[in-house]
Structure 1
Amino acid sequence: MFETIDFALGKDGVAVVTIDIPGQPANTITERFRDELAEIVERVAADADIRGVVITSAKKDFVAGGDLKEIVRTLSRELSVADARDMATQMSPLLRRLESSGKPYVAAINGSALGGGLEIALACHHRLVLDNPRILLGLPEATLGLMPGAGGTQRLPRLIGIASALPLMMKGTLLAPEAALAKGVVDGVLSVEQLLPAARAWILEHAEAQQPWDKKGYQVPGGAGFADVELGNLFNLTATQIARDTGRNLPAPIALLRAVAHGTCVPIDAGLHIESCEFAKLVLDPTACNMVRTMFVNKGELEKLSRRPKSIEPASIAKVGVVGAGLMGGGIAHSAAVAGVQVVLLDATAEQALAGRQRLADEFAKRVAKGRMAQEAADAIMARIQATSDYAEFAECDLVIEAVFEDLQVKTGVFAQAQAFMKPGAILASNTSTLPITDMARDLNTPDGFIGLHFFSPVDRMPLVEVVVGQQTSDTTLAHALDFIRLLRKTPIVVKDSRGFFTSRVIAAYLQESLAMLGSGVKPALIDNAARLAGFAMGPLALLDDIGMENGYKSSLAERAALGDAWNEPAGFKVQEMFCATLNRIGRRCGKGFYDYPEGKRALWSGLGEVYPALSVQPDVEEIKKRMLYIQALEAARCMEEGVIGNAAEGDVGSILGIGFPTWTGGVFSLIDTVGGTAFVTACDELADHFGERFRPSSWLRQRAERGERFHVREQ
């Protein structure tokens, strides 16, 4: 008897292997599954009465690939070269044995086949997929920091050609059944009634089976090798695109390219060996572990509301109020309405509220015009949004979110008016990015029902919500706020109340350091280009122009007023002051900032060099990158020391999803672990000696480094 597979041999000699990994909602490739599949392959090869095998699934998916949690546990250990080689050859030889055993195998794909799941199907001699548009097939490993390691880089190009296969793997493209059929990835798309009978019939019609690449005279469709001009251009273009898009920070895409380019030049067995070697190199690189752990395992746990207080009944949030119909408020209203929630969108006047609603309608109209949305869907969403200036309309709301200017007096005025009409038990939330929640809750009737919900702009595209818990915020309020975030299909992190919370503090450190560099004579183009090379989506000066220089400046002024003598002037404050108070160049919105915007295009302001003359000798790019990355990691460590962020998982997810910290690092805390605590502290001390005490690590961080204490514990 098998634990992960049901093996049923029919009277016609066709065996049906049904994958059903116990205790998991989806089939993943486990060690037990590999062992049992290997046993079945040998049994089938040795038994003359077995004519062939149909592989299918008992779950809604076919096989969802490797077990990501198990992958992280493995990669987080200190692996030797031998360990990496063993990991790289866990599945590939088994699938090679399956396809070369002489018996026909058919994949009856009745659910999504991703990563290793599709690689199993590719090793089969025939592939049939259920006619269901929700089913997806693909090899998305490159998006995880890995690459296909069970033959995918060799079989897919040999099946559909390099020019078709390479972009699919590079982008991690997921294909619906009809698209997979059109590409040649599968051989048929069938109904549920037809799937298994057709698979059986194919086996009965093929006494023996051999893959095309095992037949004499086989040629890769479209050719292979470096002599072909078109393929050579494709390889060169792909390598250039990888360098441009990743800043050479991600090892997986280039490893995948090498595996395809070199592996398809040689026979399949040699190609599989090349793939395994490239995969083993990635296993030894910390990037893969960092990315998988943060972007898939930890992100997934947070989306399952791992921080939600237990034993509290789920909230039923049917109607929400949003105060402020600007970009943030409108974005929150948009996301809630898309999720099926009724929305009351309020602003100071009915005209402003209606204008905010109209902006949303205009956005949906553009999507409809481009064929990205049906008119009926747009109409249904807009029907859920009511524009008003009357706070009495909040009477039936389960949650009211304030999204007005970052001004304490304005916000407290909103709270006073909103709570006068809100029903008992309704949650009041602030979208503040910096102001302490506890301070704002002091004059509220029910401070235990008040919480911070910090969304990020543009709200409809940014997946993170920073949930800020004040001193009096109740567990019920937190639980129900998290229920709302899950309803929006966003990712929450929970942080303790403080000025700036977590994400704003970390990104402020980055922006202030960049302004300090500008003020000291580092060329602005060098600053922004170095940031992109480090893995940021855009340079900090361009980012400041886009979000508006005055926001950070006003925040600094408010902090100075609140803290008095305890205020520490940020490193780039004088540059902020120069641009906001003297030059009145506050960003793209007014058409001028660090950049000018002739005809909507971005061009560095020619007068920058006069305001901040460039140093005769510019710093090294690597030094600039280090300053940008390390100052954020240091601020994140301070947040953990102060208890603002509770664990490294949330800090890493928050830094990547909320403020665009480079994905390849795995996040701020993963970066420190990757560098190594002692090496990180030493490097920060050197930066402090050259650029200021803001880089000086705290005693808490030094002691952690001395103890060899990591933010993410290594598996034993």
Structure 2
Amino acid sequence: MPEQTSTTSQATLTLEITGGVAWLVFDDPDKKVNILSTPVMERLDGLIGEVEAAAEAGRVRALVVRSGKDGSFIAGANVDEIAGITDPEEGREKAAQGQAVFQRLHRLGIPTIAAVDGTCLGGGTELILACDVRLASDRDETKIGLPEIKLGILPGFGGTTRLPRLIGLIAASDIILAGKAVDARKAQKIGLVHERMHPGVLYDRAEELARAMADGEAAPSRAEPGLVQRLAEATPPGRNLILKQARKQVMKQTKGKYPAPLKAIEVMKRSAGKSLEKALAIEARALGELIVTPESKNLIHVFHLMEAAKKAGPAVAGRPVDRVAVLGAGVMGGGIAQLLSYRGLSVRLKDIDQGALSTGLRHARSMFDKLVKRRKLRRREADDRMNAISPSLDYAGFGTVDLVIEAVVERMDVKKSVLRET
């Protein structure tokens, strides 16, 4: 009997059914990497619906998810969309919508295999966590991780819930709380992927496995946490001890200044032992709370600055800068002011809120204190550089500065007001 082939295509995401195996292929022709934007997620939801119908009709017996890009799977969600969310309920709904799409994938009722070749981050990792089997190429570019913490949020499409249930709290906390990515070897070692192999045989193995599982063969085995760890995580006291240690480490590194890792720990604690549906609801609410925080908006701003720097052309000749003004205090503004002062510049730190100014100065002082503690500066030098930062509630002195850096809160009305005033 000849193989039946059908194709549904729409640029960034295509569905091809060949001989009973459906292939979902991500390949945005307009970008170097695949991004899970809202239109892509809507398209994915629709194609999963087509797979459901084809499976019910007996035309599809297994599904393989892959990328059409060499060395890149899915780089995550659309950061611009994240930055644009200013209401917690909107953030919760966005997370719940993403979770619903991946839950639909999880419940397809046929074997689902993710074939990862290259970078797989954020929503890409959350997508493969919803699949039955994960295969990865062993090329250097293959990295699997959840970097959301670095944007001041947490994995909200199911990652904070699914990863601990898959590889255990210890390994999952290490990835989630640090926003780190692991290579294919490490991913296999901790049980995140079932198999790793040369990229040249990855898709052949995925198809072979899809057909075998469709015929009733069991999924390949993967590494699992040891017996002692499994027993510990099976009880509330054991889970609490693990998460208590994780919180201690987070506080040591962040001094409690960043809410995202602490919220992620809270979510893992509250969702343990609950049904997947209830746990996902807890995760979605937490994402909504974090996505509107000043810390998240500031970290996203830093992310955009770093991306712009990567794309910048050759530097042009500049002019000497001795005096700088920073618009917007708080933790971010204080950090910028400290760095500038440390480099020998005079800094005017301006904010409309005295509390934000105080926070910025405290943060700058704490950073100088660390340099003294590490013997990178003498106390007198640190005091001199700290004195080079002058706080202000108005624009006095701005007429003599060489450069103004905008670091105000990520609210459009505030930014427009600042631009009008300056």
TM-score, normalization by structure 1: 0.47
Structure 2 vs 1, CA of residues 190 and 545 (structure 1 numbering), >3 Å: closer, same or farther?
closer
Q: How does 1:177-196 map to 2 (within 5 A)?
A: 177-196=184-203
1:305 aligns with 2:312: yes
Residue 271 of structure 1 corresponds to 279
**Partner of residue 376, structure 2:** 546
Question: Which secondary structure does the structure 2 equivalent of 1:281 belong to?
Answer: helix
Change (3 A) 1:250 1:501: closer
Instruction: Output the CA distance in 2 between the equivalents of 1:197 and 1:640.
Output: 64
1:64 to partner: Cα distance: 0.6
Matches within 5 A, 1:375-394: none
Conserved 8 A contact 2:322-2:402: no
**Shift of residue 159 of structure 1?**
0.9
Tell me how far apart the structure 2 counterparts of residues 35 and 28 of structure 1 sit (CA, whole Å). Answer: 13
**In 1, distance between residues paired with 2:112 and 2:146?**
20
The alpha-carbon distance between structure 1 residues 21 and 540, as it changes in their structure 2 partners (threshold 3 A), is: same
Find the counterpart in structure 2 of residue 50 from structure 1: 60
Shift of 1:221: 7.2
Which secondary structure does the structure 1 equivalent of 2:173 belong to?
helix
Q: Measure the CA separation in 1 of the matches of 2:106 and 2:217.
A: 8
2:245 equivalent to 1:507 = no
Q: Which residue of 1 aligns with 2:238?
A: 230
Distance in 1, Cα, partners of 2:128 & 2:251: 32
1:242 maps onto 2:258 in alignment? no
Please give the alpha-carbon distance, in whole angstroms, between the structure 1 residues aligned to 2:299 and 2:25. 32
- Corresponding residue to 2:295 among 287, 292, 295: 287
- In 2, the alpha carbon distance for the partners of 1:505 and 1:190 equals 45
SS in 1 for 2:418: coil
Q: Structure 1 residues 246 and 170 mapped into 2: Cα distance closer, same or farther (>3 Å)?
A: same
Q: State how far apart, in whole Å, the 1-side matches of 2:250 and 2:371 are.
A: 24
1:564-593 residue CA offsets vs partner (Å, 9 max, x unmatched): xxxxxx9959xxxxxxxxxxxxxxxxxxxx
Note if 1:200 corresponds to 2:207: yes
**Which residue of 82, 85, 90 corresponds with 1:71?**
82
CA distance in structure 2 between the aligned counterparts of 1:114 and 1:19, rounded to whole angstroms: 14
Any residues of structure 2 matched to 1:82-161 within 5 Å, and which? Answer: 82-161=89-168
CA RMSD of aligned residues (A): 3.9
Deviations 1:284-340 (A, max 9, x none): 22211210121x11121023216856xxxxxxxxxxxxxxxxxxxxxxxxxxxxxxx
TM-score normalised by length of structure 2:
0.77
Matched-pair contact (CA < 8 Å) for 1:131–1:190: yes
What does 1:393-404 align with in structure 2 at a 5 Å threshold?
none
Contact 1:161/1:220 (CA < 8 Å) preserved in 2? no
Query: How many residue pairs end up in the alignment?
Result: 377
1:233 shift after superposition: 1.5
SS across alignment from 1:62: strand
SS of residue matched to 2:72: coil
Q: Does 1:62 align with 2:80?
A: no
Residues 261 and 643 (structure 1), Cα distance of their counterparts in 2 relative to 1, 3 Å cut: same
The structural deviation recorded for 1:118 is 0.9
Paired with 1:291 and 1:100, the residues of 2 have a C-alpha distance of: 35
Q: 2:408 corresponds to which residue?
A: 670
- What is the rounded CA distance, in whole Å, between the counterparts of 2:117 and 2:339 in structure 1? 47
Distance 1:13 1:302, change over 3 A: same
Aligned mates of 1:544, 1:177 — CA distance in 2:
36
**1:204-226 Cα distance to aligned partner (Å, 9 max, x none):** 12237999xxxxxxx99725779
Q: How much does 1:140 deviate? A: 1.6
Partner of 2:418: 709
Give the residue type in structure 2 aligned to 1:183. Answer: I
Structure 1 residues 541 and 289, CA, compared in 2 at 3 Å: closer, same or farther? Answer: closer
Counterpart of 1:95 in 2: which secondary structure? helix
Normalized per residue, the structure richer in strand is 2
Deviation at 1:506, TM superposition (A): 4.7
State the match for 2:10 in structure 1: 2
State the match for 1:38 in structure 2.
45
> Which structure ranks higher in relative contact order (CA pairs < 8 Å, sequence separation ≥ 6)?
2
Per the alignment, do residues 638 and 260 of structure 1 end up closer, same or farther by CA in structure 2, a change over 3 Å counting?
farther
SS at match of 2:376: helix
Give the SS at the match of 1:288.
Answer: helix
Indicate yes or no: 2:85 matched with 1:251. no
CA distance in 2, matches of 1:172, 1:505: 24
- CA distance in 2 between counterparts of 1:535 and 1:283 reads 28
- Equivalent residue of 1:124, what SS? coil
Could you tell me how far 1:632 is from its partner in structure 2?
Answer: 5.8
Q: CA contact under 8 A between 1:531 and 1:540: conserved in structure 2? A: no
